[in-house]
Structure 1
Amino acid sequence: MSKALLLIDVQNAVLEGMGAKERAPAIQEAYDAVTRRLAAVLAKARSEAVPVIIVQHDEAEGDPIAKGSKGWEIRAEVAPLPGELLINKQACDAFFETPLEAELRRRGITHLVIGGCVTPFCIDTSVRRAVSLGFDVTLITDGHMSGDIGALGFEQIIAHHNMVLWGFGAGSHGVGLSKAAEVSF
């Protein structure tokens, strides 16, 4: 089993506008904490020569993460180094119309450790798709983030997805959970 770290959409403004204005400071504080945890997992992966793949969402002009804007940039704490794979996407699914699956297969990757943003869209979709394509997944339970959506706070969204994704499977492949500090490669 060959593992890789897959960080999805950890971009400067990816959560902008998700939640009521009065919740913005709490959302940003939580996002900063998630990013610090992901940076620690990233440092561990790099120290162990584990492949690192960074996914970046491209949106159209006028969006907070419009391609080429400051908000679109990967957060500095987890920015890819030269030689690390950067995949750009335009849908929630990191595999949809991207070279991600081909790159994973070419590199012999069979297991993905996943963290990033936005939990109910890009994380959920990419985790499920990875499993359906025949990869095993470890979801970093304290390493994915969302803003508030409707009546649900980000805390509820994250807890819900940790619960429903745990054990999700397709054939012999499935999702396991790990806290960032306990991730093993």
Structure 2
Amino acid sequence: MNEKTALLIIDVQVGIVEAESGHVFNSEALLTNINQIISDARLREIPILYVQDLDVAPQESKEFQIHPAIAPLESDRIIHKVATDAFHGTNLHEELQAIGANHLVIVGCKTEYCVDTTCRRATTLGYDVTLVADAHSTTDNKVLKAEQIINHHNANLHGLDNIDKFIIVRKVEDSVMEPIHNNYR
């Protein structure tokens, strides 16, 4: 099977990364790691799609904007969403189909909401997913620290499969743009 990769950057918006209630866990490393992945994608001419959550803040506000540390180029696609699932009510699936993508590298915020839901949904839509272990983040909740939430999701999502497609969790330094799913089929 010929693999076509796309990079999906979920909700890395100023109002999430630098929220007044507290920055996401390890925000500087998160942005550095995402930048490294973006650079690799650009070198390999891999399509980059940014997802913005319309519920974060008014669209004209600074908080709504994609974090300037990872700002998109004009050639990058931007998808607006209102649900935790980046596919629900958006044209994301159609955009990915149009470019022939069947492997998604996923990074972003927040781990237990939009990242988790989009990873799971992607597999049911026919995509293999590489979740980058050190390029998604969240904040503490009433029960768990952000680092625990991230580690929990990295452990639980690794190997999660739906029919023929599944999620592999890899670190930034693992050449995440190169799909390895077929090694496990």
Shift of 1:95: 0.2
Q: Which runs of 5+ in 2 are unaligned?
A: 179-185
1:101 correspondence with 2:98: no
Residue identity matched to 2:38: L
Q: What secondary structure sits across from 1:152 in the alignment?
A: coil
Match of 1:21 in 2: none
Distance 1:116 1:29 in 2: 12
1:89/1:67 Cα in 2 relative to 1: closer, same or farther (>3 Å)?
same
Cα offset, 1:82, TM superposition = 1.0
Contact kept? 2:30, 2:136, Cα under 8 Å: yes
Deviation at 1:33, TM superposition (A): 1.1
Summarize deviations over 1:58-91 as a string: whole Å, max 9, x none.
Answer: 12xxxx5332211110011211101111101111
Question: How many Å separate the matches in 1 of 2:71 and 2:161?
Answer: 30
Q: Which residue number in structure 2 is paired with residue 14 of structure 1? A: 16
Question: Which stretch of the first structure deviates more once superposed, 156-165 or 75-84?
Answer: 75-84
Q: What SS does the aligned partner of 2:123 have? A: helix
Cα distance, 1:28 vs structure 2: 5.0
d(CA) in 2 for partners of 1:58, 1:28 = 18
Question: What is the CA distance between 1:184 and its match in structure 2?
Answer: 3.0
Partner of 2:181: none
Partner residue in 1 for 2:116? 124
**Which sections of structure 1, spanning at least 5 residues, go unmatched?**
19-23
Q: Map residues 22-171 of structure 1 onto 2, 5 A cutoff.
A: 24=22, 27-28=23-24, 30-59=26-55, 65-171=57-163
Task: Give TM-score scaled by structure 1 length.
Answer: 0.89
In 1, the alpha carbon distance for the partners of 2:158 and 2:26 equals 22
Do 1:41 and 1:181's aligned partners in 2 also have CA atoms closer than 8 Å? no
Alpha-carbon distance in structure 2 between the residues aligned to 1:70 and 1:181: 31
Residues 122-157 of structure 1, C-alpha deviations (whole Å, 9 max, x = no match): 000000000011100000000000001112110000
Alpha-carbon distance change, 14 to 107 in structure 1, aligned in 2, over 3 angstroms: same
* Aligned-residue identity in percent: 37
How big is the shift at 1:31? 1.3
What amino acid maps onto 2:43 in structure 1?
S
CA distance in 2, matches of 1:76, 1:7: 13
Residues 82-136 of structure 1 show CA distances to partners (whole Å, capped at 9, x for unaligned) of 1111101111110010000011111100000000000110000000000011100
Query: What residue identity is the alignment partner of 1:65?
Result: A
- Once residues 60 and 172 of structure 2 are traced to their aligned partners in structure 1, the CA distance between those partners, rounded to angstroms, is 30
Number of equivalenced pairs: 174
Asked if structure 1 preserves the Cα contact closer than 8 Å seen for 2:81 and 2:90, the reply is yes
